[in-house]
Amino acid sequence: MSTKRFSKIVGSGSYIPTVQIKNEHFLNHEFFEPNGQKIETSPEIIIEKFKDITGITERKYASDDQQNSDLAYLAAKDALESSKIDKESLDYIIVAHNFGDVKPNSTLTNQLPCLAAKVKNLLQIENPKTIAYDILFGCPGWIQGMIQADYYIKSGDAQRVMVIGSETLSRVCDPHDRDSMIYSDGAGAAILEACEAEEASGILSHAVRTDTINEAFFLRADISDNADFEGNSNSLFIKMYGRKIYEYAITNVPGVVKESIDKAGLGIKDIKRILIHQANEKMDEAIAKRLFRLYQEKNIPKDIMPMIIKEMGNNSVATVPILYDQIAKDKLDDHKLNEGDYVVFASVGAGMNINAFVYKV
């Protein structure tokens, strides 16, 4: 039997910032509606409702001496060191993010040079054939980078590709917006490598969709909800229509995940874990229920969708690679990946974009 070329994850890494921000941090915040009206509900009640919906009790912020490219570099360094892979052997470095480098107390973004170039510089990679570039695809950016890397490898163009997801959302969230409590910072990385095998392995299939007619600005950049905020003249913050995103996600993500599973010739009972973007605990649970309903399955295994959002918050493109790295390194109780397991990686976010791929360990 002839062999085929597949993309396997041979290394992973992550960087979780050390500044711990608990929900109580927001007790002294004044929150406003998008129309500029001050919310009179007490911060205590707002925070409690927020916790019930999202599951978040704390999040991690980058320290003032770190920028996004630093976080990406530290995750990349961890992936290289833990896998003992030669950095000069990388054919591509792809960095997924949305806001570039942002300094503390500023929303000004710096994307020149691109973050991938900065990471390559920090790693001191000399090889000119290690191609470094960024990808902007909302929260699904890291998964989209993995899909691109899979194409490079299966075409024969690349042997090893590092894909990094890194973000410092704490620098671009409006302190007067309730949604600002969702966001956090962090970075995760994975190294894909070509392998020859008779039996299918690694990334088996993927599915992607983009909706923009009515959905393009569900996530966007805009001024503070507080019209009197002194930085409004030159600041843009991340903004979202939470209810619309929730409805969009639970309506469309299950179908994209099912499409990726169907393309792999599998069924939902074959899937051991679903590693989904950690955006909102209740939203992810609703997605799981609707996905299983598409397969006429009522019973959802309790451990199929690992969650780390409680302590991590939503760090956008970094949520899925951090989640994978924690499982791969046995840092999550009751969650292990064994050889032969089928795993789905999935995400949804700005664009609006949805993507998913099926991976055989």
Q: Which of 171, 197, 223 is the last residue of a domain?
A: 197
Q: Which of 144, 176, 197 is the last residue of a domain?
A: 197
Handedness of CA 263, 13, 249, 100 (dihedral sign): negative
Say if residue 130 is in the same domain as residue 214: no
Q: Which of 172, 197, 222 is the last residue of a domain?
A: 197
Say if residue 346 is in the same domain as residue 222: yes
Distance in angstroms (rounded) separating the CA atoms of residues 39 and 180: 15
Q: What is the predicted pLDDT for the residue at 1? A: 66
For residue 312, say if its preceding peptide bond is cis, omega within 30 degrees of 0.
no
Supply the CATH number for residue 190's domain: 3.40.47.10
CA triplet 26, 323, 170: central angle to 5 degrees?
30
Say if residue 127 is in the same domain as residue 142: yes
Say if residue 144 is in the same domain as residue 209: no
Say if residue 67 is in the same domain as residue 166: yes
Mean pLDDT by 10 residues, the chain (361 residues): 90 97 94 91 93 94 97 98 97 97 91 97 98 98 98 97 98 93 97 93 97 96 87 83 96 98 97 96 95 94 94 97 97 90 98 97 95
Say if residue 306 is in the same domain as residue 182: no
Say if residue 345 is in the same domain as residue 244: yes
Say if residue 47 is in the same domain as residue 113: yes
Any idea which residue has 């309790």 for tokens?
302
Q: Which two tokens stand for residue 257?
A: 């995940």
Determine contact, residues 272/337, Cβ cutoff 8 Å: yes
Distance of CA 192 to the CA centre of its chain: 17
Distance in angstroms (rounded) separating the CA atoms of residues 55 and 48: 10
- The number of folded domains in the chain is 2
Say if residue 26 is in the same domain as residue 127: yes
Distance in angstroms (rounded) separating the CA atoms of residues 8 and 360: 9
Determine contact, residues 71/17, Cβ cutoff 8 Å: yes
66: containing domain:
4-197
Say if residue 159 is in the same domain as residue 276: no
Q: What is the predicted pLDDT for the residue at 117? A: 98
Q: Which two tokens stand for residue 112?
A: 């020149």
Of 13, 357, 329, 10, nearest in space to 189 by CA: 13
Say if residue 74 is in the same domain as residue 165: yes
Say if residue 96 is in the same domain as residue 185: yes
